[in-house]
């Protein structure tokens, strides 16, 4: 018997990466799955976003587990579209028990005037679109009277500052306040609301050509090993990043009845990133690692 038998889970940003891992893990435990994804490029994003083929692949992988999977191309920033696809999917699958709000983008920026558009794009995607997803799904979580679980993907940046990432950091900090308010507002309906705060994850949001150069600026042709060396200094545990499946295990826990009395929390899955020793920030750690590399001390 699976931990999610008889339940239906909706996952935004489900076409690949963490969203795909969550869909497969919940399906393995018996859930039918609804996935949404913009599945197209957003102006200004410097790495490739998911596409229709990714969406189809996740659907296939869930179905291979033996569960139903409905997939929709939907921009979470579009409240009307999110309501339409949620209503359509629940009408077909019969209920909604779990919502995993996983979509997000990363756009580093400075404080120059050109950063205004980046700020607007990141806040719209990483914060406002979370609220739009909540509004679209809450009526269905309430409808059957059995309660439910909303899991929001925050970040280590929900707790600490990330250098040259003001919009991302502000959005992820904002999610903590949203989660706490929703947990209070929905407790009487037995709907639990929690956040997952991963460190850097091995997805295209983080492991991409742009960040390869950013993490090894002294290298003319940086390699993935160069990036790993610098990225590892962000975490207390000696790893550069975690895998999407590592996050999915925690998502399953919060979605399941094992967490039935857990609500309003922010759960770091961060390899110690937010527990850096006093005086050592993640950015400083990266620069120390880079300096040691350049000096040939490692």
Which residues does the annotation mark as catalytic?
168
User: How many CB atoms are closer than 10 A to CB 221?
Assistant: 8
- Report the distance separating Cα 29 and Cα 4, nearest Å: 5
- Report the distance separating Cα 41 and Cα 31, nearest Å: 29
∠ CA 261-266-269, rounded to 5°: 110
Q: Do 236 and 275 form a contact (C-beta atoms < 8 A)?
A: yes
Structure tokens at 277: 């020793």
* β-bridge pairing 266-269 and 191-198: parallel
- The DSSP code for 157 is G
Q: Do 37 and 15 form a contact (C-beta atoms < 8 A)?
A: yes
In the chain, count of helices (H) and strands (E)?
A: 10, 7
């Amino acid at each position: 018997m699976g931990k999610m038998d008889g339940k239906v889970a909706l996952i935004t940003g489900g076409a690949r990466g963490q969203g795909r891992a969550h869909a497969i893990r919940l399906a393995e435990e018996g859930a039918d799955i609804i996935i949404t994804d913009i599945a197209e490029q957003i102006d200004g994003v410097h790495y490739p976003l998911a596409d229709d083929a990714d969406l189809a692949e996740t659907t296939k992988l869930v179905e291979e587990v033996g569960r139903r999977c409905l997939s929709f191309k939907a921009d979470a920033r579009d409240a009307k579209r999110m309501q339409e696809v949620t209503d359509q999917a629940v009408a077909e699958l019969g209920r909604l028990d779990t919502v995993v709000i996983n979509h997000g983008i990363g756009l580093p920026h400075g404080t120059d005037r050109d950063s205004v558009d980046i700020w607007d794009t990141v806040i719209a995607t990483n914060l406002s679109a979370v609220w739009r997803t909540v509004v679209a799904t809450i009526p269905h979580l309430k409808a059957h009277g059995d309660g439910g679980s909303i899991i929001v993907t925050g970040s280590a940046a929900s707790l600490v500052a990330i250098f040259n990432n003001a919009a991302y950091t502000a959005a992820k900090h904002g999610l903590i306040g949203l989660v706490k308010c929703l947990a209070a507002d929905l407790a009487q309906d037995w709907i639990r609301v929690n956040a997952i705060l991963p460190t850097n994850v091995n997805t295209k949001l983080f492991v991409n050509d742009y960040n390869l150069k950013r993490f090894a600026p002294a290298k003319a042709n940086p390699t993935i090993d160069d990036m790993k060396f610098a990225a590892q200094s962000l975490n207390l545990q000696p790893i550069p990043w975690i895998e999407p499946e590592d996050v999915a295990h925690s998502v399953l826990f919060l979605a399941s009845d094992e967490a039935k009395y857990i609500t309003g929390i922010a759960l770091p899955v961060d390899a110690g990133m937010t527990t850096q020793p006093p005086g050592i920030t993640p950015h400083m750690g990266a620069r120390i690692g880079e300096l040691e590399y350049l000096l040939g001390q490692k």
